Amino acid sequence: MKIGLIGLGIMGKPMAKNLLKAGYDLTVSDLNKAAVDEVVACGAKTASNKEIGETCDLVLTMLPNSPHVKSVMLGENGVANYMKAPQVFIDMSSINPVASKEIAAELAKKGVEMLDAPVSGGEPKAIDGTLSFMVGGKKAVFDQYKPVLEAMGASVVLCGDVGAGNTTKLANQIIVACNIQALAEAMTLAKKAGVDPQLVFEAIKGGLAGSTVMNAKAPMMIEGNDKPGFKIDLHIKDLNNALDCAHSVGSPVPMTAQVQEIFQWLHNHDCGQDDHSSIIKYYKMLTGIETTGL
């Protein structure tokens, strides 16, 4: 099987390396030449998007948002122009489920099947190959290509038809964002009350409040580490998609709207490229506590 992967950012690059480790014949494409060169050095080939569409059995994308995926696939000289049955497209980006359905409908005209398969886990799990995949599409297509996704993830779950994967991802991103906000409030309370946030973390992480989010992000907040595993600007993008989806189906999302406003404030104060755990900076601004670490 020849696989083409378009998009070698924070997530796509380590995912590509895990496909190579699993022995897949991989061709990659990205605007960042350094990222392409790094993956090629690990055993991949490189080609244009057009050549990927013409020659690969399976085309994967890992791109920032809906417009990027639609442009790469459906734009002028888009990859879809060069695909035909029985080729398959799997979009691993986190985008609006409406866009996923639009792309799938266009590909269906050419007999090309599609899965939307966004991931959760951030850069650390992309590196160690333990991402969680939330997948939408036909079960037969899912079953055939599940091993490819398992080369990059520890959990691969079919959630429904095309679009269901990204709907599930939006639910995931709401939960992560609200957890991070609650964690930042709790750590700020501890600091203002004169209790060591590290000891608070150690005391509560094994109880009901404990979570994967807490384990990953509390140490970053305490250390003042804002190196992005998942950028604030990307979480803003995901929550915008969540709000759009929620408004279209009539689902109330007041907590999502609140945390989105905090992320937006941080973006407007030059923190958009920081890790989303940097939401703690908003509380530092409100309280006047130290700006580096807790």
Q: Which residues are catalytic?
A: 169
For helices 212-223 and 197-204, angle between their N-to-C axes, nearest 10 degrees:
170
8 Å CB contact between 165 and 115: yes
8 Å CB contact between 169 and 153: no
Q: CB burial class (10 A; 0-12, 13-18, 19+) of residue 175?
A: middle
- Sign of the CA dihedral with 16 first, then 17, 22, and 23 last: positive
- Residue 42 CB: number of other CB atoms within 10 A? 14
Q: Is 46 helix (H, G, I), strand (E, B) or coil?
A: strand
8 Å CB contact between 216 and 258: no
Q: CA-CA distance, 123 to 146, in Å (whole number)?
A: 21
Please, what's the b/e burial string for 141-171 (b: 16 or more CB within 10 A of its CB; e: otherwise)?
bbeebbebbebbbeebebbeebbbbbbbbbe
CA distances from 18 to 1, 41, 231 (A): 16, 13, 22
